[in-house]
Structure 1
Amino acid sequence: MDSFGIYLHIPYCKSKCRYCDFYSAPGARGVPQAYVDALLRELNKRDRRPDTLYFGGGTPALLSPGQVQALVEAAAPLPGAEITLEANPDTVTPETLRGFRAAGITRISFGAQSADDAQLRRLGRTHTAAAAAQALGWAREAGFPEICGDIMLALPHYSREEFDATLALLQQGGCTHISAYLLKIEPGTAFARHPPEGLPDADEAAGFYLYAVQRLAGAGYRQYEISNFARPGHEGRHNLLYWNCRDYAGIGPAAHSCLRGTRRFWPDDVQGFIDGTAAEQTEGVCDAEDFLLMQLRLAKGLDLDEYARWGGRFTGAQMAFLHQCAAHGYAVLEPGRVRLTPAGMIVQNSILEELI
């Protein structure tokens, strides 16, 4: 049977980070039981058991361990399933982490972002570097087999020293997986309305990215996707479903699905989701273009035979362009495969414009 994943969107947050454009709602008092009941209602409509289950947000750690346990039981993941829960360092305690682990969570993912407290305040994060280190320690004590951490790159007044300190924080915290991604100023965010001073330019940001790739490799974290690095055997199985265009079902406002080649989404409407008046909508089909876009995110690249099975092929002009990319160090052409180098991943959008 093909792999299948379920994503549960938990939109509640204590506060909105200045760079965040994800759909969210105020959640200082936790996640309302009415919202959990709505997730349970939708899970109970499904009979396909997932290989992966992902609690994303928002801030899923605002759920209580009892709420998490009820949702895991309703999803009925297969034996050996990867079950991930995202958390902010200041939303967990030793007790809640032990409760999440007992509820079945196998993979905890912390949004650490930086080891510089002034930077964290600038981003609108509500934790400190010390709180991140403490949360990682509590997660180790709770017995999570997979501990993940996020690093944001090319932040205002950024430096290699800030990256090194953040990597050390996560490495010493026992992280098996690290996501490292460039800050992007998204429309509608606080940073878009009031851009921060000291942002690196495009060339400087690219330099920070390439430095991160090098340093992460040296620390034993192998790059397997544009922004994702893991110790061998600890790659995130759920997100690989997305990038390999496998089936996944998203549940909750703003969540997306791709099932049997059809992409669907829930509207951005928490109350409508709770009431049952907001219906999942069809977005389109998953085709060769989607497969190309997703596969070139991966370090392994695009298998040309599999691309052909999706109905895709490169013209002579496109192959000539790819040879130019290879000559300039942006891509590697192997028999039956095309993959981007880290330098190529930085300009992936420009490369895709020529290929789609």
Structure 2
Amino acid sequence: MPFGLYLHIPYCFSKCRYCDFYSRPGARGVPPEYTDALLRELARHTGGEPLRPDTIYFGGGTPSLLDPAAVARLIEAAQPAPGAEITLEANPETVDYNTLSAYRAAGVNRISFGVQSARDDQLRRLGRPHTARQARQALADAVRAGFERINGDIMMALPYYTQAEFDDTLALLEEGGANHISAYLLKIEPDSAFGRKPPEGLPTADQAADFYLYGVEQLEAHGYRQYEISNFARPGQEGRHNLIYWDCGDYLGLGPAAHSCVGGRRFYYPADTEAFLRGDTPPVEDGVCGAEDYLILQLRLRHGLNLAEYKRRFGKEFTPRQRAFLDQCARQGYARFNGETLALTPAGMIVQNSILVELI
């Protein structure tokens, strides 16, 4: 089974209005002592032995505030396996050809841009500090720097959203060389600026569902195959790191608010950067990865849940009542269920929570 390493970079220029991830806005870079803290924790978890992860993911925050030399130090310390996927999230306004070339030379082989929209008025509304022109330039610079694996994010069902805005954003990413796209609906989180003061012009739940189905249809038509509820890729370009999460595999997360699951045991670091820098707050135990986690995560994937594997791992089987419910879901177009595999359709993914309520 593949093993993943997640490195959380909590620093960012400013907090986007929809964001409730743990981050520290107002930064213009990542202090060297934070890199040192990541290296310290990596050594603590491995006892100084090579970790040899199959994937490394720099997430944030804004990982592209990291100096490329720091990225190189972290990759070298992890000693990834041959052919490892190494992803770095980047905001378009924080990179240019030189920094992207330096990231590529450091060992990063997959870049993920938070584009979100091709409309500058929408980007301002979201609190994104980049423009559509900067996003186009960042994509062009990434291709020129030698990146062959490029992801771009699209947010749907934004204030005053239209299908034309989706089309423009898809065109920006496709023309820019993205071979993987993460496309997801805006979710108003209580602890975000939008949660405290919701924006005007939000679509209804039914309108948001229609935008999602339209997005799936258009992405598939442009050659981006849906393999997970919010992820679409050209053949062979699926994100290997996140697949470890969805398959309940092993991964180590380092940094404040970073979560891990190793050998079925879950733990996380408290959301406190100062404590992480000091190294005096150990990870918090968070239970185990069980049958419910596996069921929820597998139903995010288009290939769905294999019932024989579900039984082999957890000794679980669906009851006759649950099977009858799944047959009904299949008749109504929400799922594909042949008695051996349960896979949700795009329409079923919209109502996934309701389906899970019947199965858990």
TM-score for the superposition, normalised by structure 2:
0.98
| Partner Cα separation in structure 2 for residue 311 and residue 58 of structure 1 | 39
Q: Name 2:40's counterpart in structure 1.
A: 41
- Return the letter of the residue paired with 1:176: N
1:125 aligns with 2:128: yes
Q: Name 2:355's counterpart in structure 1.
A: 351
The one of 277, 289, 300 equivalent to 1:286 is: 289
Q: Name 2:162's counterpart in structure 1.
A: 159
- Return the letter of the residue paired with 1:38: A
| Partner Cα separation in structure 1 for residue 167 and residue 110 of structure 2 | 24
- Return the letter of the residue paired with 2:138: A
The one of 87, 107, 113 equivalent to 1:110 is: 113
1:15 aligns with 2:14: yes
Instruction: Describe the SS at the equivalent of 2:355.
Output: helix
Instruction: Describe the SS at the equivalent of 1:180.
Output: strand
Unaligned runs of 5+ in 1: none
Q: Name 1:94's counterpart in structure 2.
A: 97
Give 1:327 shift: 1.1
Provide, for residues 252-292 of structure 1, a one-character-per-residue CA deviation record: whole Å limited to 9, x for no partner. Answer: 00000011011111100101000001211110111111110
- Return the letter of the residue paired with 1:22: F
Give 1:316 shift: 1.2
Give 1:317 shift: 1.1
The one of 211, 228, 234 equivalent to 2:214 is: 211
The one of 257, 260, 263 equivalent to 2:260 is: 257
Give 1:215 shift: 0.2
> Which moves more between the two structures, 330-339 or 64-73?
330-339
Provide, for residues 218-259 of structure 1, a one-character-per-residue CA deviation record: whole Å limited to 9, x for no partner. Answer: 100000000000000000000000000110000000000011
The one of 326, 329, 343 equivalent to 2:330 is: 326
Q: Name 2:345's counterpart in structure 1.
A: 341
TM alignment of 1:167-186, pairs within 5 A = 167-186=170-189
Instruction: Describe the SS at the equivalent of 2:336.
Output: strand
Answer whether contact 1:53 1:83 (CA < 8 A) is retained. Answer: yes
1:299 aligns with 2:299: no
| Partner Cα separation in structure 2 for residue 224 and residue 180 of structure 1 | 12
- Return the letter of the residue paired with 1:237: R
1:6 aligns with 2:5: yes
Across the aligned residues of Structure 1 and Structure 2, the Cα RMSD in angstroms comes to 0.8
Q: Name 2:30's counterpart in structure 1.
A: 31
> Which moves more between the two structures, 235-244 or 19-28?
19-28
- Return the letter of the residue paired with 1:100: Y
| Partner Cα separation in structure 2 for residue 23 and residue 174 of structure 1 | 30
Answer whether contact 2:12 2:28 (CA < 8 A) is retained. Answer: no
Give 1:319 shift: 0.9
- Return the letter of the residue paired with 2:37: A
Instruction: Describe the SS at the equivalent of 1:122.
Output: helix
Provide, for residues 16-66 of structure 1, a one-character-per-residue CA deviation record: whole Å limited to 9, x for no partner. Answer: 000000000135320011111000111123133100000000000000110
Provide, for residues 74-102 of structure 1, a one-character-per-residue CA deviation record: whole Å limited to 9, x for no partner. Answer: 11100100000000000101111000000
Answer whether contact 1:289 1:312 (CA < 8 A) is retained. Answer: no
Answer whether contact 1:5 1:249 (CA < 8 A) is retained. Answer: yes
Identity fraction in percent: 66
Answer whether contact 2:334 2:347 (CA < 8 A) is retained. Answer: yes
| Partner Cα separation in structure 2 for residue 262 and residue 318 of structure 1 | 29
Where has structure 1 moved over 6 Å in runs of 4 or more?
Answer: none
| Partner Cα separation in structure 1 for residue 35 and residue 245 of structure 2 | 24
- Return the letter of the residue paired with 1:18: R
Provide, for residues 119-173 of structure 1, a one-character-per-residue CA deviation record: whole Å limited to 9, x for no partner. Answer: 0000000000010000000000000120110000000000000000000000000
- Return the letter of the residue paired with 1:55: F
| Partner Cα separation in structure 2 for residue 8 and residue 339 of structure 1 | 31
Instruction: Describe the SS at the equivalent of 2:183.
Output: strand
Instruction: Describe the SS at the equivalent of 2:311.
Output: helix
> Which moves more between the two structures, 18-27 or 170-179?
18-27
Q: Name 2:62's counterpart in structure 1.
A: 59
| Partner Cα separation in structure 1 for residue 260 and residue 115 of structure 2 | 27
Answer whether contact 1:269 1:278 (CA < 8 A) is retained. Answer: no
Q: Name 2:75's counterpart in structure 1.
A: 72
Give 1:311 shift: 2.3
Instruction: Describe the SS at the equivalent of 1:44.
Output: helix
Q: Name 1:240's counterpart in structure 2.
A: 243
Instruction: Describe the SS at the equivalent of 2:19.
Output: coil
The one of 187, 191, 213 equivalent to 1:188 is: 191
Answer whether contact 1:52 1:83 (CA < 8 A) is retained. Answer: yes
- Return the letter of the residue paired with 2:29: G
Answer whether contact 1:179 1:227 (CA < 8 A) is retained. Answer: yes
Give 1:335 shift: 4.2
TM-score for the superposition, normalised by structure 1:
0.99
| Partner Cα separation in structure 2 for residue 198 and residue 147 of structure 1 | 31
